[in-house]
Amino acid sequence: MAQNKAVFLDRDGVINHDTGYTSKIEDFEFIDGVFQACKRFIFQGYQIVVVTNQSGIARGFYSEDDFFKLTNWMIGQFDKHGIEIERVYFCPHHPTAGHGKYLKDCDCRKPNPGMLLRAARELDLDLSASIMIGDNLTDMQAGEKAGCKECILVNERVLSPTLTQGYRTFPRLSDVTLGFH
């Protein structure tokens, strides 16, 4: 029986401002309060796991090496704040806009739950005790399909009530409360 629980975080729009296909350190801007929120989640017994669609790779906007360089830098910034990111999972595919090996309808691209299921296997996670936090409906769907305890939508934009129905919503990750609803 799995022993650990995680907060799964989407990257663009949750950890950093989504400027569209963010692939360079100089374009990566953390959203205020991200580090404090992650410290709170860890204090509550959650591991931090990032799950991110990266169709910019599939589209040829940047390479996997570019993604790894930025990811290593991002993890280093969390480390400087005393926060361990357990793992970063990414999907480089796109079912219609991908090129070459990246043109693929896969199980890892959210709204499919592949990244979360892989994390559960590799990190011994109890998905029924874990939480998905994202800024899009596809994040919520992936969390639901994986069997997460809760899916939380964070988005500074005013969203349609149809989109947010059934989800707790917060403007930013720093506003999220776990276990108090």
* Structural domain boundaries in the chain: 19-155+168-175
Q: What is the pLDDT of residue 178?
A: 87
| Tens digit of each residue's pLDDT (9 = 90 or more) over 46-104 | 999 999 999 999 999 999 999 999 999 999 999 999 999 999 999 999 999 999 999 99
* DSSP code at position 85: E
Measured in whole angstroms, the distance separating CA 73 from the mean position of its chain's CA atoms is 16
Domain 19-155+168-175 CATH (choose: 1.20.1730.10, 3.30.70.20, 3.70.10.10, 3.40.50.1000): 3.40.50.1000
Cα-trace Rg, the chain: 15
Residue 144, φ and ψ in degrees, nearest 5: -65, -45
**Stated pTM of the model:** 0.94
- Closest alpha carbon to 60 in 12, 93, 107: 93
Query: What does the angle CA 133 – CA 134 – CA 136 come to, to the nearest 5 degrees?
Result: 145
Question: Which structure tokens are listed for 112?
Answer: 């499919």
Give the catalytic positions in this structure. Answer: 10, 12
